[in-house]
Chains A and B, each alone.
Chain A
Amino acid sequence: MPEISFVKAALPKAGAVVVLMAEGGEPSALHLALDAASGGAVARGLEAAGFKGSKGQSATIWAPAPGITKLVALGMGPAAALTPDSAEAVGGAAYPLIRAEKDVLLAADGIEMPVALRVALGVKLRSYRFDLYRTTQKPDDLPKLARLAVALAEPTAARAAYAPFRAVAEGVFLSRDLVSEPPNVLHPVEMAERCRGLEALGVTVEILGLKEMKKLGFGALLGVAMGSAIEPRMVVMKWNGSKKKTEKPICFIGKGVTFDTGGISIKPAGGMEDMKWDMAGAGTVVGLMAALAGRKARVNVVGLVGLVENMPSGTAQRPGDVVKTASGQTVEVINTDAEGRLVLADVIHYAITKHDPKWMIDLATLTGAIIVALGHEHAGLFSNDDTLAAQVEAAGRATGELCWRLPLSDAYDKQIKSDIADMKNVGTRAGGSITAAQFIQRFVQGRPWVHLDIAGTAWSAKDLPTTPKGATAFGVRLLDRLVADHFEG
């Protein structure tokens, strides 16, 4: 995972070089200088390769000039279509071509600085690996890319402008680490301890244990936790970056089921290992807090995560149980595998009563139904506030973390009426993601609220432009952008 630096545009003495070219565009000065140093070999090579700069097209020329190991030319597509937001994919496409080189110079002297920064960020995001548990890798199989120097006209300005992106990338990587960790390592107690790491960034971290949550009446969250040998935790992370210290905060709330067997309503065995990432909502909130604090965002924000493990055991919650939530509302548990909403119910209630937020957004790998509805490209977005919903959708488009709004209404709400309690925790198959959102809405007390169902987007089965397959950290970029665009005063 390379260090990104910024340098004046000059021919390097060693290492590899990446030149970027828009379709029908002109080579940059650095590109031309390289060509001259190669005695015209670069131009001839690209001509022979039929390189035109179309999107995703690449050509490699080995040892074009003394000391230079290789030159990679990468097409960016039509110049008119190139924006900072779309430039990250260019960086993502560059990474596999340069991962075996230790030192790489990115010739960005021909493109605008905002675009160059995002190309660099794309390289960085795409370079993520989680190798903690591999003990037999051969050095040759590992990427060697250690340093990416971005060559452009104003390196000092670029360095400053890149700093927030560096913080965001770190937030993304933290989130991916947490989601990638296996469930025997990252259980609720361990994940809470990892959150303490944010203190180094100036975040106040408070951890609530079993005793405190009992006192707060978290009957729903504790009902989920009681089947596990490991105690639950709730972590409250505060970042006060606003100039107005007394400004009401915004709240991000994450579902953190560190492993979800389904409990007594146990899941089928096939694919159950995926349930280690059932804490991805919480993973996103933690990564987001790291990003916001890391770039010293001028906003007051509280991140809250409810951490539990959902296990079947002699002490586990049963279908038919009725639990009392912190809000006082009672829930008939029909299916112990619809546990995420139970965790969120108590954490959201706590967020409102304790922190009085302007608005709140929860993230959860909540329902399989959202995959049947939307697949893996869009997260499901539910909201009681059209303005906030539109802002989240726009931030999603800008960062490539797409959201699609789905409906809420009384007709759906009726589907979770219980015969014995205030509500039941599942309806029928019909509109399963919507009824889950209706359930959560019963705990938001009418506050502006967005619920993101990220069950389809938290983990990717294949490589994406700036995300290697595995944990995506979906939501960190999106919500960081939301805050940056609208809520920093």
Chain B
Amino acid sequence: MLPVAVRFQAAPGNAPNRAGPEQQDGFDAQGQTIRLDLTQGPQAAGALAWAALAEGRHALDIDASGLADPVALAAGATLRAWSPRPAPRGTLSIICEAPRLAARLWAKTWPCIAGNLFARSLVVRPANDLTPAAFVQALQTLSRHGLQVTVHDRAWLEHNGYGALSAVGRAAKSGPYLVTLHWPGEGPPIALVGKGLCFDTGGISIKPAGGMEAMRADMAGAAACAGAMLALALGRTPRAAVAVLAIAENTTSADSYRPGDVLHTAKGLTVEVVDTDAEGRLALADALHHAITRHSPRAVLDAATLTGSIVTALGHHHGGLFSNDARLQSATLAAGRAEGEPLWPMPIGERHREDLKSAIADLRQCMPAGLGRQPDACHAAAFLREFVGTTPWAHLDIAGMDLAEADNPLAAKGMPTGFGARLFARLIQEY
């Protein structure tokens, strides 16, 4: 499951490659030596040590004696060891004072890492490979870990009045789908809802060519939710959880939905389409409604690469967090901090909702282009809130966080980050 087999031991290791706070970067008669750089914390230290391994080397001993958090070292190294290309499985030995305690903690940690890496493995796949149907297939494999996978296809969505998701996905050859991953457990579940746009051309409101290739990652929200569900299943968590993933491809064709169209959402609200490139909130609207009405969750959290606006607002160092519930908001922020997936709270103001008044429908999905700069991330959140009702809800706009914008300890530049999977898994276990 993991790219690296991890062992904790008290005795000195026997790998030719060694990392430790006292080592110097270089090579000796035995193999490679790597200085353990603890300046950014133990997780980053583990990751950087693994990243420093010379080509072709897949075994490493890290001397963690005297260090507080050997498990974080292992977590970092394992996350960094992931590669989109097939590679031989590595081995990692952490030398520490209390190996049995560390191994017990590791048993709780590695499922979250596996979840994160599963999310990455989905995000990295290009859109001609990961079509909506292929995405569904990948999710169906999760049933072997005990997740119940339910798939609703285009005909089901159209028949049941999921007019928003249907419109977004209908121009593509494959999809749309609404996929539910269910982990049975105690009590009402926490629901995750993910935006799974396998590719987003923008539709009739087509995007500029520059940078459009990054839109293969526009399903990172759904991937994060799926990763979190895998983590819960692997960790056999006693808590109930469900993920509802809206999977589609937004493309241009003779049958594309248009600016000006009015859609009937599953909730019954009518929506005026202003910009077909603001499709994520449409797909999420139906998925949120489905999650809330079919699963009566005690809280619902959605993740989506939703707006360019959030990148202008927060850059690449925080995801945007919108919520209607103070307790859920602070728990989500705390989970993000604990997992190194930082979020920043953002407002939904009265004006943001007022701006969504439509002349022809119950609401419009965004502000028309040409009216100058718009707080589109806040508008999107105000839109989604209309489909939530009174259920405690948090919305994570992760548009700036899905791919590593620069080299960082856990992922090389351009690689998917799996942002959100670990945060969600932790939140569900703790909330």
Q: Are B344 and A406 in contact, CB atoms less than 8 angstroms apart?
A: yes
- What's the least CB distance linking B343 to chain A, in Å? 10
A377: which B residues are within 8 A, CB to CB?
347, 349-352
Q: Which one, A110-118, A179-187, A257-265, A407-415, is touching chain B?
A: A407-415
Q: Which one, A136-144, A204-212, A431-439, is touching chain B?
A: A431-439
Q: Are B351 and A375 in contact, CB atoms less than 8 angstroms apart?
A: yes
A369 at interface, CB cutoff 8 A: yes
Query: In the complex, A378 Cα to B346 Cα: how many Å?
Result: 11
Q: Are B314 and A434 in contact, CB atoms less than 8 angstroms apart?
A: yes
Per the 8 Å Cβ criterion, residues 353-398 of A in contact with B are 368-369, 371-378
- What's the least CB distance linking B74 to chain A, in Å? 25
Query: In the complex, A404 Cα to B349 Cα: how many Å?
Result: 11
Q: Are B349 and A372 in contact, CB atoms less than 8 angstroms apart?
A: no
B349: which A residues are within 8 A, CB to CB?
374-375, 377-378, 402
Query: In the complex, A252 Cα to B269 Cα: how many Å?
Result: 48
Query: In the complex, A374 Cα to B349 Cα: how many Å?
Result: 9
Q: Are B373 and A372 in contact, CB atoms less than 8 angstroms apart?
A: yes
Q: Are A374 and B375 in contact, CB atoms less than 8 angstroms apart?
A: yes
Q: Are A404 and B347 in contact, CB atoms less than 8 angstroms apart?
A: yes
Given A373-B309, A375-B351, A377-B349: A430 touches B344 (CB 8 Å cut-off): no
Q: Are A372 and B314 in contact, CB atoms less than 8 angstroms apart?
A: no
Query: In the complex, A271 Cα to B373 Cα: how many Å?
Result: 11
Q: Which of B315, B351, B374 contacts A372 (CB 8 A)?
A: B374
A134 at interface, CB cutoff 8 A: no
Q: Are B313 and A271 in contact, CB atoms less than 8 angstroms apart?
A: no
Query: In the complex, A371 Cα to B349 Cα: how many Å?
Result: 13
Query: In the complex, A434 Cα to B400 Cα: how many Å?
Result: 14
B88 at interface, CB cutoff 8 A: no
Closest to B371 in A: A461
Query: In the complex, A375 Cα to B355 Cα: how many Å?
Result: 10
Given A375-B351, A377-B350, A404-B347: A431 touches B312 (CB 8 Å cut-off): yes
- What's the least CB distance linking A307 to chain B, in Å? 26
Interface string of A205-228 (1 = CB under 8 A from B): 000000000000000000000000
B313: which A residues are within 8 A, CB to CB?
369, 372-374, 406, 431, 433
Query: In the complex, A404 Cα to B355 Cα: how many Å?
Result: 19
A486 at interface, CB cutoff 8 A: no
- Most chain A beta-carbon contacts within 10 A, residue among B311, B355, B373, B377: B373
B346: which A residues are within 8 A, CB to CB?
373-374, 404
Chain A interface extent, by class: 20 to 34
Tell me the number of A-to-B contacts counted with CB atoms below 8 Å.
78
Q: Are B317 and A372 in contact, CB atoms less than 8 angstroms apart?
A: no
A245 at interface, CB cutoff 8 A: no
Interface string of B355-372 (1 = CB under 8 A from A): 100000000000000001
Q: Are B347 and A432 in contact, CB atoms less than 8 angstroms apart?
A: no
Q: Which of B344, B372, B375 contacts A407 (CB 8 A)?
A: B344
B318: which A residues are within 8 A, CB to CB?
407
Q: Which of A368, A378, A415, A431 contacts B314 (CB 8 A)?
A: A431
Query: In the complex, A440 Cα to B318 Cα: how many Å?
Result: 20
Closest to B342 in A: A407
Query: In the complex, A293 Cα to B72 Cα: how many Å?
Result: 57
Q: Are B311 and A375 in contact, CB atoms less than 8 angstroms apart?
A: no
Closest to A370 in B: B313
Q: Are A412 and B315 in contact, CB atoms less than 8 angstroms apart?
A: yes
Q: Which of B314, B317, B344, B373 contacts A371 (CB 8 A)?
A: B373
Closest to A432 in B: B312
B→A interface (CB under 8 Å): 309, 311-318, 344, 346-347, 349-352, 355, 372-378, 400, 405
Given A378-B349, A431-B317, output 19 extra A-B contacts at Cβ < 8 Å: A368-B373, A371-B372, A371-B373, A371-B374, A372-B309, A372-B373, A373-B313, A373-B314, A373-B375, A374-B313, A374-B346, A374-B349, A377-B350, A406-B313, A406-B314, A407-B317, A431-B311, A433-B313, A434-B315
Of all A-B residue pairs in the complex, the 8 with the closest CB atoms, nearest first, are A431-B315, A373-B313, A375-B375, A430-B315, A377-B349, A371-B373, A372-B312, A377-B351
The contact sample of 27 A-B pairs, CB cut-off 8 A, is A271-B372, A368-B373, A369-B312, A369-B313, A371-B372, A372-B309, A373-B313, A374-B378, A375-B355, A376-B351, A377-B349, A377-B350, A377-B352, A378-B347, A378-B349, A402-B349, A406-B344, A407-B314, A407-B318, A409-B317, A412-B315, A430-B315, A430-B405, A431-B314, A431-B316, A434-B314, A434-B315
